[in-house]
Amino acid sequence: MNNNKIQFVSDALVQQIIEGRKTASVTTLEEVDQKEDEYNDPLVVGKYYDVYDSKLKKKATIGIVAMELCRWDSIPERLWQGETNSNADEFRSDHREYFNNPDDDFEFIAYYFGVVNQS
């Protein structure tokens, strides 16, 4: 069985996933169901994703366990913790540029996962 594929913006994030510290990530409403490229398939709860590093080497397999709609002014605790942040303000600081300086009512998708295999 072929798993879907996913990449993260840095190898440091991939390492956090392998270590079990990073258990959540985010995407835009526009990108959540889009196949961005060969290494970024649409996100679906219950599906497995092979995680690739910047050298396109498979490093782990994760399973998406949940997704939720979030607002910029109301970051859920399980999201900022799963993103390895200390609080919601730190999460916003880390993601402000990624989301292009969003307004308080900006909505985005959070997804939660667990490591099922390390390569």
pTM of the shown model = 0.93
User: Sheet holding 4-7: strands in order across?
Assistant: 4-7, 48-52, 58-71, 107-118, 24-27
pLDDT at position 115, please? 94
Copy the structure tokens of residue 43: 């996100």
Domain 4-118 listed as CATH 3.40.190.10: no
What are the pLDDT digits (tens) for 55-98? Answer: 999 999 999 999 999 999 999 999 999 999 999 999 999 999 99
Comparing 15-24, 36-45, 54-63, 78-87, which segment has the lowest mean pLDDT? Answer: 36-45
Q: What is the pLDDT of residue 36?
A: 85
Q: How confident is the model at residue 1 (pLDDT cuts 50, 70, 90)?
A: low
What contacts 100, CB < 8 A, 6 or more positions away?
A: none
